[in-house]
């Protein structure tokens, strides 16, 4: 079976299925109109005609019953007396089937076939519709004192009602043909418009699959297909954005990994190629190689953390954790760094700040923020860490009097590998991944992180977590 360009088989195609089912319903309706309706009208006419002819036959039979011995004269007198003008043919026969009244005719074959039944006392009715006329015949015995004395055969041929019925039939046929043509045109039009739009969606999917993320369907209208088109365009925009982020991430990650690798290569080459190099320089270079290797290890560790967060893998199940304990231990760990930079590190930590998370992830967030506040500070500057318990949330605020972030960079500092001052960040072993890890971790536990400049210079980072309240016992 042939296939169209979208790879759908002919009989599996929606177009063909729609067209065939619509056509089947319409043809069925038209056939019913042309057959059932006409045959029902014909049956109605037949039964009313038959009732009329039967009552005429009954009248004749009653009149002939009074005659003791049927003869041609006696029958002619009775027929003349009765008003039988509306009937097309009247035949009266004697007890042996001899014709007493009426002339021979082609309908005599009916008489011959049924004569013996009628003479045995049965009524016979016969009707047909031919050449645009209704033929209704009644063949009945004349019974006198329990004995059959003869028979009456009367026929009514109605061409007027036949003509009306034929006219009706022709009109219905013409209307049916017209309806059929209109339906075909309408179906073709509807299918054409629907299929044109479905084809445009299919084409768009093919293009986007080939990587053309700028492709838009721009479907007009307000129906379901237009909604589908709009959804598709939104999806393509999202894909484009994701693709861009992925590419940039790969490029940034390779760059980050390449820099320490180049340094290692350069340092090892210097040692190998310089034959007169003294031992203290070799030690210095090897120590540098060690630092670069550590940087590589840290960067890959962070990249792995990010990949885990991207995949939604929270390794440990979240449990209620006291944020004050976590922040206190972080401050203890970072106190030496504050001392080196001559920075005053102060804190005010509320009790009862319970958060549903894991201790490690909260530690990572707090450590990153406080470490940054110390790293990007000025000599003899200050850092204040506050933990505030509110009715429904817990706020961790890290304020510093440091160098701050320029307004243009502020929207980007949570991006992966983003560093305002590369040299300064590198000198502290930074990779530009700390804040993006902090943001992803905070989000994974239902929280929010924000950064804002401080009026007096420096930065304020705030993390808000929903406060954990134990379920009622």
Which is nearer to ligand ADP, 432 or 447 (by Cβ)? 432
Least gap, CB of 230 to ligand ADP (angstroms):
36
Q: How far is the CB of 383 from ligand ADP (least distance, A)?
A: 9
The 3-state DSSP composition of the chain as helix, strand, coil percent (nearest 5) reads 55, 20, 25
Q: Can you tell me which of 194, 403, 410, 444 binds ligand ADP, judged by CB under 6 A?
A: 403
Residues 223 and 244 sit within 8 Å (Cβ to Cβ): no
Q: How far is the CB of 256 from ligand ADP (least distance, A)?
A: 10
Instruction: Answer yes or no whether residue 405 interacts with ligand ADP by CB under 6 A.
Output: yes
Of 141 and 432, the one with the shorter C-beta distance to ligand ADP is 432
Please say which residue, 260 or 434, places its beta carbon nearer to ligand ADP.
434
Indicate the residue among 114 and 376 with the shorter CB distance to ligand ADP. 376
Read off φ and ψ for residue 351, nearest 5 degrees: -85, 165
Beta strands in 253-327 (DSSP E): 319-322
Residue 421 sits in the site that holds ligand ADP (CB under 6 A): yes
Instruction: Count CB neighbours of 420 within 10 A.
Output: 17
Q: How far is the CB of 436 from ligand ADP (least distance, A)?
A: 6
Can residue 191 be called a binding residue for ligand ADP (CB under 6 A)? Answer: no
Residues 6 or more apart in contact with residue 442 via CB below 8 angstroms: 365, 448, 449, 463, 465
Query: CB neighbours of 42 closer than 8 A, spacing ≥ 6?
Result: 129, 165
Whole-Å CA distances, 67 to 62, 146, 148, 149, 401: 10, 14, 12, 9, 139
Does 430 sit near ligand ADP (CB under 6 A)?
Answer: yes
Please give the sequence-ordered ranges of beta strands (E in DSSP) within 38-145, or none if there are none: 89-94, 99-101, 124-130, 133-144
Select the residue interacting with ligand ADP from 15, 419, 445, 464 (CB under 6 A). Answer: 419
* 295 belongs to the binding site for ligand ADP (CB under 6 A): no
173: left (phi > 0), else alpha (psi -120 to 50), else beta?
A: alpha
Please select the residue that binds ligand ADP; options are 102, 150, 434, 447, rule is CB under 6 A: 434
Q: Does 394 bind ligand ADP (CB under 6 A)?
A: no
Interface residue with ligand ADP, options 101, 376, 465, 468 (CB under 6 A): 376
Q: Which residues pair with 163 in a beta bridge?
A: none
Contacting residues toward ligand ADP, per CB under 6 A: 368, 372-373, 376, 400, 402-405, 413, 418-421, 425, 430-436, 459
């Amino acid at each position: 079976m042939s296939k169209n360009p979208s790879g759908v088989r002919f009989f599996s195609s929606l177009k063909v299925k729609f067209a065939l089912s619509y056509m089947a319903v319409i043809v069925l309706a038209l056939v019913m109109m042309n057959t059932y309706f006409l045959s029902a009208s014909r049956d109605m006419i037949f039964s009313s005609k038959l009732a009329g002819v039967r009552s005429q036959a009954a009248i004749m039979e009653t009149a002939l019953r009074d005659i003791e011995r049927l003869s041609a004269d006696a029958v002619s007198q009775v027929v003349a007396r009765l008003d039988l003008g509306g009937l097309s043919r009247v035949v009266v026969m004697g007890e042996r089937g001899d014709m007493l009244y009426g002339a021979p005719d082609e309908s005599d074959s009916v008489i011959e076939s049924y004569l013996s039944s009628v003479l045995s006392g049965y009524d016979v009715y016969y009707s047909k519709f031919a050449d645009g006329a209704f033929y209704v015949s009644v063949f009945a015995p004349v019974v006198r004192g329990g004995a059959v004395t003869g028979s009456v055969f009367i026929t009514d041929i109605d061409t007027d009602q036949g003509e009306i019925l034929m006219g009706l039939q022709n009109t219905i046929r013409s209307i049916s043909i017209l309806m059929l043509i209109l339906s075909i045109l309408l179906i073709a039009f509807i299918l054409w418009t629907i299929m044109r739009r479905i084809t445009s969606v299919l084409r768009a999917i093919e293009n986007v699959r080939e990587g053309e993320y700028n492709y838009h369907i721009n479907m007009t209208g307000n129906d379901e297909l237009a909604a589908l088109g709009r959804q598709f365009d939104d999806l393509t925009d999202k894909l484009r954005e994701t693709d861009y982020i992925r590419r940039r991430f790969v490029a940034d990650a390779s760059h980050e990994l390449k820099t320490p690798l180049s340094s290692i290569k350069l340092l090892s080459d210097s040692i190998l190629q310089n034959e007169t190099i003294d031992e203290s320089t070799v030690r210095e270079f090897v120590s540098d190689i060690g630092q670069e290797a550590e940087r590589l290890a840290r960067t890959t560790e962070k990249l792995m953390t990010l990949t885990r967060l991207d995949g939604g893998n929270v390794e440990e199940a979240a449990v209620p954790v006291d944020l004050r304990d976590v922040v206190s231990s972080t401050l203890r760990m970072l106190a030496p760094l504050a001392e080196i930079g001559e920075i005053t590190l102060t804190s005010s930590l509320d009790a009862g700040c319970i958060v549903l998370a894991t201790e490690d992830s909260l530690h990572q967030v707090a450590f990153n923020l406080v470490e940054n506040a110390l790293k990007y500070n000025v000599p003899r500057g200050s850092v204040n860490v506050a933990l505030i318990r509110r009715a429904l949330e817990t706020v961790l605020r890290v304020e510093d009097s440091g160098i701050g972030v320029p307004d243009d960079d502020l929207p980007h500092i949570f991006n992966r590998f983003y560093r305002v001052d590369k040299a300064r960040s590198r000198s502290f072993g930074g990779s530009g991944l700390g804040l993006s890890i902090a943001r992803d971790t905070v989000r994974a536990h239902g929280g929010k992180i924000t950064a804002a400049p401080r009026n007096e210079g420096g930065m304020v980072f705030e993390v808000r977590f929903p406060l954990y309240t134990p379920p009622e016992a």
